Structure 1
Amino acid sequence: MIDTEFKVRRYVTEFSEETEELIAEYDLRSFELKHFQMEFGEPNSDNPMFDCYPIKECNVKFLRMHLAKEPEWDFVNKSYFVEAHAI
């Protein structure tokens, strides 16, 4: 999704644990900064979350409400991150 307030694209990345290569990107269909800050433990309420935030299994239920298309979660062989990219 395009965050027009901060002019960034918000999405989830999926990486191979074996090769560390990017496998896929999944667009968020919604993004509420305060909710994401709470879910991912961002202590600074002024931080617009431009960093990469690792996704853990406990975050999947929350992310299901915000993903346009959901990955086939595999936390043994893959790693996932919430990211932002300037547009």
Structure 2
Amino acid sequence: MADRNIGHYLVSYDGATEEVDEIIRIDQFHLDEFREAFAVPPNDPEMHDRYAVGPDDIRFLRPKLAREVEFEFAERAYFIEALQTD
């Protein structure tokens, strides 16, 4: 049986179909940094699972991604999500 890990990823959804378009690993995820940058209240039950990403978040997020991303907010929706991997 493979070990399962939870990691944080930038997940891109197609704006028309709402299907997952792309998943990019976040190399440097520190909950306290993200909570502050995304103004998530400490008692928010979803704070460990999902953050909506907007144009103002790109400067903070870009250096933490495993690769360069061309953000297209008119075409896609972006979220930081905790995903379980094998």
- TM-score category of the 2 structures, normalised to the smaller one: 0.7 to 0.9
Unmatched runs of 5 consecutive residues or more in structure 2: none
RMSD between aligned residues: 2.0
TM-score w.r.t. length of structure 1: 0.81
Counterpart contact for 1:26–1:70, Cα < 8 Å: no
- Give the share of equivalent positions with the same residue, in percent: 31
Out of 74, 82, 85, which is 1:84 matched to? 82
Out of 2, 8, 11, which is 1:10 matched to? 8
Question: For residue 4 of structure 1, what is the aligned residue in structure 2?
Answer: none
Q: Distance in 1 between matches of 2:29 and 2:46?
A: 11
1:54-69 aligned at under 5 Å gives the runs 54-69=52-67
Unmatched runs of 5 consecutive residues or more in structure 1: 1-6
Counterpart contact for 1:34–1:45, Cα < 8 Å: no
Q: CA deviation at 1:51?
A: 2.2
Q: 3-state DSSP class of the match of 2:64?
A: coil
Q: Determine which structure has greater relative contact order: mean sequence separation of CA pairs < 8 Å that are 6+ residues apart, divided by chain length.
A: 2
Counterpart contact for 2:62–2:69, Cα < 8 Å: no
Q: Distance in 1 between matches of 2:46 and 2:77?
A: 22
Amino acid at match of 2:41: P
Residues 26-83 of structure 1, C-alpha deviations (whole Å, 9 max, x = no match)? 0011112111001111110797832211100000000012111132100001010000
Higher Cα Rg, which structure: 2
Q: Distance in 2 between matches of 1:29 and 1:48?
A: 21
1:24 paired to 2:22: yes
